[in-house]
Amino acid sequence: MGIIVGVLIGRFMLSPNQETPSKQAAQNQNAAVMAVEAVHPTSITIKNRLSANGIVAAVETAEVSSQISGVAIERVLVEVGEFVKAGQVLATLDTRTFEQQLSSAEAELATAVAAQEKAAADLARTEPLLAIDAVSRQEVDAYRTALRQALANVTAAQAHVESARTNQ
């Protein structure tokens, strides 16, 4: 009997917190319900900063060039590596050459128009003379050809003026 009492005392000494199954079920229910504190949310700005060493390279690059050869750049408006937007002016060109080309083309057009007017007047003077045999048909044909050439020169000069305006 001393051994049984010793075993029972030892059992209670080694596991003093052991509870009955009904007490364990009650504690499990209480453990499932947790105490929670409710708070009102607020908006805050968190500034993240990252310092690192490395090399920065562009994801995309673009070759920028003029559609007109022989153009002098007057002023560059951006720095190398600077971020630019579509449509942003990057540089200004020296337009003096374009202005001179336009002036020259306009003078060429004026000359061609004057030549056309002269050819038309010459033809207008000689056609009535053909009717009275005062000039030959060959001479009238030469004036007609001169008028056609003058008209073609006016058309070419107009195209040259338009091209010079486009380049400006």
Range of the domain at 151: 96-167
CATH code at 136? 1.10.287.470
**Higher pLDDT pick, 40 / 113:** 113
**DSSP code string of 20-65:** -HHHHHHHHHHHHS-------------------------S------
Number of domains present in the structure of the chain: 1
Predicted TM-score (pTM) of this structure: 0.52
CB atoms within 10 A of CB 147: 20
Q: Is residue 32 part of a domain?
A: no
Kindly report the average pLDDT of the chain as a whole number. Answer: 82
For 86-95, the pLDDT digits (tens) are: 889 988 888 8
Q: Is residue 105 part of a domain?
A: yes
For 100-125, the pLDDT digits (tens) are: 999 999 999 999 999 999 999 999 99
Q: What is the predicted pLDDT for the residue at 14? A: 54
**Higher pLDDT pick, 85 / 20:** 85
Q: Is residue 131 part of a domain?
A: yes
